[in-house]
């Protein structure tokens, strides 16, 4: 059932247009689930032609089996050392713990992470944010660490960025009619579109999702709908 999470707005304005913004509650999704089946059960009954269905990259990654129990990750020396220089934000742990940094090294390669760290250090000196992730790429930026406020069992997992986000969005869109499907990485610090089933006005969508309508805790709303009023 479409809902509006506490503290979020159900009616948004971008330039001269008004949009409804709904979140969609689901059960806990795992690697045993098909993303298309989850969309079919929890989103399809409420979608209309012209809607935008936005899906949390974390749920997509979980259906791809990319949630890794923290206990199974063995950080190397480089990951342990690099993680000490990462500042934790209110949006999550990020790469500030050895286990998540090790996942970034595994995903992107140590060479790239070292270059990103050097560029990031330069950015800090110049008081510029985000330089590390611009070099490391979305697969490092999208890594989510364990958090007590996350729904079990993911409160004890590192969740990696989803693979093939454009292709995944396209596959989901094939099961729907006249609906744009987006894979998004949204938190309390901002929004990013990782995958799209068709060309999209990214500035418009990012502006509309900046409020983080899916929430940051245990809302269990990994999908949402944008609808032009």
Domain extent listing, the chain: 2-66+162-228, 68-159
pLDDT at 161 over 90: yes
| 57 band by pLDDT with thresholds 50, 70 and 90 | very high
Q: Is the dihedral of CA 89, 94, 95, 97 positive or negative?
A: positive
pLDDT at 217 over 80: no
* Separation between Cα atoms, residue 43 and residue 45, nearest integer Å: 6
Q: Is the dihedral of CA 155, 160, 164, 169 positive or negative?
A: positive
What is residue 149's predicted lDDT score, i.e. its pLDDT?
82
What is residue 218's predicted lDDT score, i.e. its pLDDT?
80
Calculate mean pLDDT across residues 48-57.
97
What is residue 129's predicted lDDT score, i.e. its pLDDT?
85
CATH number of 2-66+162-228: 3.30.1330.100
Is the pTM higher than 0.75? The answer reads yes
Is the model more confident about 91 or about 32?
32
* Separation between Cα atoms, residue 100 and residue 7, nearest integer Å: 29
pLDDT at 87 over 80: no
């Amino acid at each position: 059932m479409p809902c509006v999470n506490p503290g979020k707005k159900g009616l948004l304005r971008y330039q001269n247009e008004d949009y409804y913004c709904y979140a969609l509650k689901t059960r806990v999704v795992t690697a045993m689930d098909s993303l298309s089946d989850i969309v079919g059960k929890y989103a399809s009954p409420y979608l209309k032609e012209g809607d935008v269905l936005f899906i949390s990259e974390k749920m997509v990654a979980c259906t791809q089996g990319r949630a890794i129990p923290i206990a199974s990750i063995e950080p190397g020396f480089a990951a342990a050392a690099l993680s000490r220089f990462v500042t934790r934000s209110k949006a999550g742990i990020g790469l500030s713990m050895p286990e998540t940094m090790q996942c970034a090294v595994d995903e992107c390669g140590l060479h790239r992470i070292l270059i990103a760290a050097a560029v990031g250090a330069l950015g800090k000196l110049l008081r510029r944010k985000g330089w590390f992730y611009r070099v490391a790429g979305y697969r490092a930026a999208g890594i989510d660490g364990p958090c007590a406020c996350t729904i079990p069992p993911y409160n004890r997992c590192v969740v990696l960025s989803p693979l093939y986000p454009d292709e995944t969005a396209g596959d989901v869109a094939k099961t729907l009619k006249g609906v744009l499907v987006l894979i998004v990485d949204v938190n309390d610090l901002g929004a990013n579109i990782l995958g799209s089933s068709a060309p999209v006005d990214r500035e418009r969508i990012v502006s509309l999702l900046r409020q983080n309508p899916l929430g940051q805790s245990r809302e269990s709303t990994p999908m949402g709908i944008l609808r032009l009023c």
